[in-house]
Amino acid sequence: MNRFNRFRQQLFGVRHLYSNPLDAQRAQVLTVLTVVIAVVLVMTFAFFQIPEILRNGPTDPVNTLISVADLVALVFAYRQIQRGKLNLAIWIVVGLVIIGAVQSILRGGPNSTATISNSTVVLLPVPIVLAGTLLSRRGMFGVSALTFLLVIIAAVAQSANGTPFTYIPAEVAVADVVTIILTLLVTVAILGAFLGSLQRIANESYQLTALRQWINQLGSDLSAIHDETTLLNTAITRIRQVVVQRFVEIYIINEDGNLVLPSGGTQRRKIIRSIEPNILAEAARTRTVLVTSLEDAPERHTHMAASTSYAAAVPIMVNDNLMGVLDFQDVQQFSANELESLQELAGLLALNWQRVRVTTDLQSRVDDQELTITRLQTQLQDFSRRQQQDVSEIWGGYIQGRGKQAIGYNLSGDSAVPVQASDLPGDLVNTLKTGQLEVSTQGNEQVVNVPIKFRDTNLGAMSFAVPADQPLNDRQIEVATIVAERLALALENTRLFEQSQSQAFRERKASEVATALIGATDVRVVLNMAAEQFKEALGAVNTRIYIQPETMMEPLAQTQQEQ
């Protein structure tokens, strides 16, 4: 049974995918008609013409040559249909039908003369009907005009034929009935096939239009989803709601390149390896849309459900990035337009899928960067706080080491007068505490108190006065702030310079003491020199160095033992 179905599909099927559903249906009707006419010609030639030739010799070689030429033309037309050249095939078949119908008129009389008084004239509507179903309106009118012209030619030829002949109706009754019935059956078959196809094509076009509108709406709904799992679940649920009579699954490409079903898959096959001959794996390898049926080799449709007969595998990809395969299964064969709609659906799903993946990846990177920024900000705040504490402690110790006389200076002309801590004005004390610039009016003067800050540590403040009739602008305030910043930097540099000098002095003094001590050869001399050096370096009044008695006696005891 499977072999017969495969043979029937191979013989009557149309292997070329016509984008126009009307062309696809015309190709199907023309394929069946071509095969049927060819079979009739072969049977006529085998059962009638060959026996007649064997009995009486080639009495009508023209008829034999016409039959052979018709058979060759039909084979050529069949091949053109399969190659997508439908119009050429249509004209060939219509031409053959016209020749067959007209031949019965031009050579259907006595002694192969032209006649229109024969039952074969019933064949004349066949080419017109065939042209009306397969050709355009202009083509149908052309075929009709040609048929009318040939009828007129046959009528003129018959009017010039005065030869009498005997007509016995009983002898031709069976042949006339068979001719008329076959003609009616052929006409009904052509009209029935084509008109039924028109209805089916109209319904299919309506369904495709509704499907395209639904695909657009689905794209709008999927564009609002930002999670991959939710996107796939929503897509498969919505697709199943629309195509309730079909099985639909979305296979995802895993890290190994195999096709796997996400959680919730209902098909039998949960995983399809990339090397399998199954059409899903082949579609993933070739990045093309593939179809199969139960008539194909079993290994190509191992994923199909028991209640389906046809399956389509549509890759889900953006550019050359394959993300999965869309699996459709149905009891009816998929048309070319349906496959295009499925491919459009897969492309829409791929774009939203890619968008979600890119968005998720970018969001993950943003979150990582935000964590890094937060960590660096915390580290920076800790560093600034520790640095501020260090600066505050260093300057606190530096000021304490200088004494209260060094708290500040009054600059008047070329003289600098030290100011005691207890003599600071109240507004200046407030600036020292708050670290904020303050401007106040005192009598005929405007007093500006500017904090001196170094690395957010308030080192001090400076105050200057200008006449009250000279209002300060923002530029002057900015200059005062910049001067305070430069002063803070200069103070820090000076402190560092003094610290470096002090450190260098200590290092030099320690080196000198070490050099002097290393040059001595007696312990008592070393001790005396160390006491003098410490006294000189530290400014001490008295210096005492204690050595444990056991240490001093140890060399003497070793000497006595050696003696």
* Minimum mean pLDDT range among 199-208, 292-301, 318-327: 199-208
> Buried (b) or exposed (e) across 177-203, using 16+ Cβ within 10 A?
eebeeebeebbeebeebbeebeeebee
* pLDDT tens digits, one per residue of 329-376: 888 888 777 888 888 888 888 888 998 888 888 988 999 999 999 888
pLDDT band, residue 290 (cuts 50/70/90): very high
* pLDDT tens digits, one per residue of 19-35: 776 777 778 878 887 88
* pLDDT tens digits, one per residue of 400-422: 666 554 456 666 666 666 666 56
* Minimum mean pLDDT range among 67-81, 406-420, 519-533: 406-420
Q: Give the other-Cβ count within 10 Å of 276's Cβ.
A: 20
When mean pLDDT is compared over 3-17, 190-204, 317-331, 438-452, the highest value belongs to 317-331
* pLDDT tens digits, one per residue of 355-365: 888 888 898 89
Q: Residue 36 carries which side chain, given as an amino acid letter?
A: V
pLDDT band, residue 554 (cuts 50/70/90): very low
The C-alpha angle 251, 294, 190, rounded to 5 degrees, equals 120
For the domain spanning 405-496, the CATH number is 3.30.450.40
- Give the integer Cα–Cα distance in Å for 347 and 168: 72
When mean pLDDT is compared over 405-409, 427-431, 543-547, the highest value belongs to 427-431
pLDDT band, residue 427 (cuts 50/70/90): confident
Which tokens sit at 264?
């919730």
- Give the integer Cα–Cα distance in Å for 386 and 392: 10
Top CATH class of 240-364 equals alpha beta
Helix (H, G, I), strand (E, B) or coil at 449: strand
pLDDT band, residue 541 (cuts 50/70/90): low
- CATH 3.30.450.40 residue ranges for the chain: 240-364, 405-496
Mean pLDDT of 164-182: 64
pLDDT band, residue 106 (cuts 50/70/90): low
Which tokens sit at 489?
């930097």
pLDDT (0 to 100) of residue 195: 65
